[in-house]
Structure 1
Amino acid sequence: METETTFNIELEHVTEGPDFHTFRVAFSNADSRILLPYPQVTGIRLVDSSDAIIDEWRSRYLVSEPLDDFVLSPGARIAFDLRGYVNGASDTDRRWTINMPVGDCRARFHYYVDDKRDWYDFLAKRSRFAAMTSPWNGTIESDAIEFANRIPSAEVG
C-alpha cells in the first residue's frame, strides 16, 4: 500500500567527466514529514523519445551495505549528486555502469520504495524526531531531462 504523502522529485544533469555523468536528484515539496531511503544511481533511467528504457545498469559486484535514509520535511529541499559511469570496458572496477549512445540523450529518475522494506537502525543513530517520522513507500518519477553524451564506447569491435 502506497503512502498518502506526496512530494516532488527533480533530475538535473550537472556535468560530464571523462567516463561518467553526474546527475542531481532533488526531493522537495513534501506535504508532511517523511522518511526516505537515499537515492541510488540505478534509479536513473535512460529513455528514448517514447520513454522506453534504452539500457539497464550493470554491475560486476555483489555488494552488501547498510541502507541509509533521510527525513524530508515540508518546505525542505534535499539534493543528492549521483555519478553514473558510462560506456566503460567490461573489465573496469566500477560498481555500476551503463551503455549510453553518443549524442542527445534523455533520462528520468525512477524512485521506488517497497512497502515491505525493512527500516533498520544500523548505526543506532535514530533520533526521537526520526522515530516520529512515517516511512514513505510507493513510486514516483521525475520529468525527463535532455542532455548530451560525448563519451564514446570503450569496446573495441
Structure 2
Amino acid sequence: MAIVTPNLKPEPDSRLWTAALMDAWMTGETIACRFPQPGFKVGAPGAGVVDGAGQSGMTLNLRGLTPGYAFRRRQFFSVVHAGRRYLQYVRAQIVVGADGRAALPIGPMLRIAPADGDVCEFIPMIEGKLSGDAAGWTMIPARVQGLSFTISEIA
C-alpha cells in the first residue's frame, strides 16, 4: 500500500513521523498502519477469532461474531497470526449465523495457516516492510511536506 501523509506541523508531527519511519527503514522491522476504508462504517461485528486450525485457501471460518452482522463485499479486516497482521477482504456479502459463526469467502488466498483462536481486527491494519523515500522529506516554512512510503506485506 502506498501512503502519502498530509503536510505535517514541524513539531511534534513531523519529528515523530520521520523518526518512526527512519527507525523502521534502518532496522528493517515491520511497521503497521491502519488500512483506510473511506466512508465505510464497520458497525459492530463482534470479537471474531479464527474457528479451527489448518485452514487454507479462500474461505476463513470465524466464531465470536455478532449474530446477524452483515459483512459487505470488499470489507477489509486483519488476521493476527504469530504476532503479525495479514490484510484480507471479504469477497461476497455474508450474514453471520445465530451461533456467531461465519465462513467468510476471502481474498487474497490465505498466505499463512492461521491458528485456532487467532484474532481478527475489523478496523484493519496492514503490516509489512517499508520501502520508498522514507528517509527523505522536504521542509517548507512552517510545515513539512507530506511524507510518502510503501508498506509491503511479507509472508
Provide the TM-score with structure 1 as the length reference: 0.30
Larger radius of gyration: 2
Provide the TM-score with structure 2 as the length reference: 0.30
